[in-house]
Structure 1
Amino acid sequence: MSGTPRICFLTGTLNAYAGAERMTAVMANALAERGFPTFVLSLWDRHSCFPLVDGVSHHALFARRPSFKRAYPATVAGIRRFLKAHRIDILVEVDTMLALFTLPASVGLPVRKIAWEHCFFDQDLGRPMRRVARRLAARFHDDIVVLTDRDHARWEEALQPRANVLTVPNPLPFAFPPDAATRKAKVVLAVGRLTHAKGFDILLRAWAMVAERAPDWRLIIAGEGESRPELERLRAQLGLAESVELPGAREDVSSLYQGASVFCLSSRYEGFGLVLLEAMSHGLPVVSTDCEAGPRALLSDREALLVPTENPEALASAITALMDNTAVANDMALAGRQKARDFELGRIVDQWQQLLCQH
């Protein structure tokens, strides 16, 4: 490989409002703007929820998601054809599961393979083959990129990989906000996909307790996902229709942060927790579950009140504590905003550029 390497991000789809997909678009755009020939190959769906700059070439193997058991040979062959046709030098796999396709697809090709891990090592998200794929990536890939030092340690401890493992956190996906939120509105904000993992059912049960003490406050849960019907039923059962909003996924998420006073993350588990950085960059004090990997790696008691997972009582108590204690909330908001600066996009792209330009 000579000159600027040709980069391809391989992902399932970009047409889904989710963290890994968003980060794929953000990093592809940033590298293209720095002059890297940049491609995104989705396994299915040519459309993207996220804007892509002119320098990013987006392709898809299939129009719709196929059964990969039946389409496995076609998927491997399609990836191989793409790598050869576009003379890809570096393949960045956005999910370690993709190693199951890319190892046979790249046999004999001069392609450097990087597995970009977005989950914590001890989570397989209900897919045991993810653990197999991680072992394959650790043995046969060139690099493994993980999001936190805690996850880095788990990879080294469990697999003793031949691959180079390094920590590169996710960046803020937008320019650092010039002004912090005024925090005058009586609004608690949560942001994320409406899935079991995000624990919004726990947050609703906690809010039922908060609302009794602070009936003039509102909770906004911004996001979309398969748990919406369940959450809407629970909201009705708890009598929270007047104080809880479920506005769906929002493109103007920065305006939601600017219009809130407290941010809450109620997740059962997290790979990273990008929304924490987003909230802190906007100067919001944080209540978060102390789940493994992301929150535990990103947060200290200077920026957040940490509570156990699956505990609505503890969540409610922490939320009301920040409502009631302005001085503590102010201190946390300031500390969080300072920490978020470490994750500005340019700093993280510098780390990726250094990795990609290694020979």
Structure 2
Amino acid sequence: MKITFLVYNIYGMGGTVRTVTNTANYLASRNYDVEIISVRRTSAKPMFDINSKIKITSLFDARRGKLFGKNTPLYKKIIKRALLKIPSMFIDKNEDLYQMFNLFVDFKIISALKKIREGILITTIPSFNILSAKFVRNNVIKIGQEHAHFAGHGEGLQNKIKKNYNKLNALTCLTDSEIQVYKNMLNENKINLYKIENATTMPRETAKLENKVVISAGRYVPVKGYDLLIPAFSKVIEKYPDWKLKIFGAGIEEDNLREQIFEEKAYNNIFLMPKTNNILGEMLNSSIYALSSRHESFGMVIIEAMSVGLPCVSFACEGPSEIIKNNEDGVLVDEGNIDELANSLMALIEAKELRKNTAKMLKRTLKDTPLIW
């Protein structure tokens, strides 16, 4: 059976990219015919390893010098440039990456969707789910994924979801609470709802928890709350000046975060690190994971941290609250409470044996869980 994924940028980083990669690799290893349609292409190869059996189709090559082919006629260049300047008409303005879409990309997405003639299509953001419902053939099984929480979508996008999701064959959510939201909203349409949590591989290695390093990873955007983590860790280093915080990622807030680190005079302890395709390796060299998101539908990085026995301190937003058992395999902190976040980090710093006992328990707990492949 042919299984097609539609994603924004399989060449980038982030929890959705990681999850799609893991799922696609798993399916390909079991001899399914898998294709990933990536709306954008931003590098020569994907950041994460993808099974060679998987076909990758990119709709728009955003790399420098790749805008036009060598023999593109002048009139096509003129048309393409014009379409690239027109804002998207099919991607909702409330999507995080709306500014990265345009009318040219709209046409490419719709054309690609109409060419899918069989099998299963899995779409990964609300606007893609809606486009699937509108433009994909009826004989194709349409599965929408929700990687965010419904309340975090703008009102306009919420209305589109209510109107169009009933045309999907199934919808997957990451948490029980989100399943209940969609059940209440779409139940009369009898759409199939499934809670499918993010999955990762189970590494053999376990973090030794000896290095005086706290780690975090994700896009540099407001929702990830790094502007809250920086002042929290600044309080930590007042008492523990030999500890470091490494934040791996990239994004629009990078300059603001660097300025904040400078204002806190924490530039010898807090480091904005480039995005990496070896986050597990970095976790193995750390002792605590910190998650400071204002909203987090699930938290792929929490599962990855747990898989190497790395204890996590997280704000108690929706997703982490369903993963972490407070004071058992991690610590949950009141949302947005910088002082409590700092105190919880210091408590784990001080309790070396607790960190190591937590690591052992995490490996035992996750060993047989269906979350881990």
Q: Residue 164 of structure 1: which of 150, 173, 192 is its match? A: 192
Query: Per-residue deviation at 1:344?
Result: 4.8
Matched, 1:96 2:126: yes
Compare 199-208 and 71-80 and name the one that shifted more.
71-80
Q: What's 1:272 paired with?
A: 298
State yes or no: 1:225 paired with 2:251: yes
TM-score norm. by structure 2 comes to 0.83
| Structure 1 residue 45 displacement after superposition | 2.8
Contact in 2 for aligned 1:220/1:244 (Cα 8 Å): yes
Give the structure 1 partner of residue 147 of structure 2: 118
- Partner amino acid for 2:262? A
Are residues 1:17 and 2:17 paired? no
Range 303-312 or range 96-105, more displaced: 96-105
2:182 to 146, 155, 169: 155
* CA deviation after TM superposition for structure 1 residue 343, in Å: 4.7
Shift of 1:71: 4.3
SS in 1 for 2:115: helix
Q: Which amino acid aligns with 1:7?
A: I
Q: How well do the aligned residues superpose, as a CA RMSD in angstroms?
A: 2.1
Asked if 1:240 corresponds to 2:266, the answer is yes
Question: Among 51, 58, 61, which residue is 1:60 paired with?
Answer: 58
Preserved CA contact (<8 Å) 2:366 2:372: no
Match runs of 1:64-213 below 5 Å: 64=62, 66=84, 67-69=87-89, 70-71=103-104, 74-75=107-108, 77-84=110-117, 88-107=118-137, 109-124=138-153, 127-160=154-187, 161-172=189-200, 175-213=201-239
Write the distance in 1 (CA, Å) between the matches of 2:335 and 2:235.
Answer: 17
Q: Which runs of 5+ in 2 are unaligned?
A: 63-82, 90-102
Taking structure 1 as reference, are residues 40 and 231 closer, same or farther at Cα in structure 2, changes over 3 Å only? same
Identity of aligned residues (%): 24
Quickly say closer, same or farther: Cα 1:229–1:93, change in 2 above 3 A: same
After TM superposition, give the deviation of residue 225 of structure 1 in Å: 1.4
Secondary structure of 2:314 counterpart: strand
Matched, 1:295 2:320: yes
SS for the counterpart of 2:22 is: helix
Displacement after TM superposition at 1:51 (Å): 2.8
Unmatched runs of 5 consecutive residues or more in structure 1: 347-359
Work out the number of aligned pairs and report it: 333
Letter in 1 for 2:23: M
Per-residue deviation, 1:327: 3.6
CA 1:26–1:184: 2 relative to 1, 3 Å: same
1:76·1:102 contact (CA, 8 Å) conserved in 2?
A: no
Please list the CA deviations of residues 240-261 of structure 1 after superposition, one character each: whole Å capped at 9, or x if unmatched: 0111121211222222111111
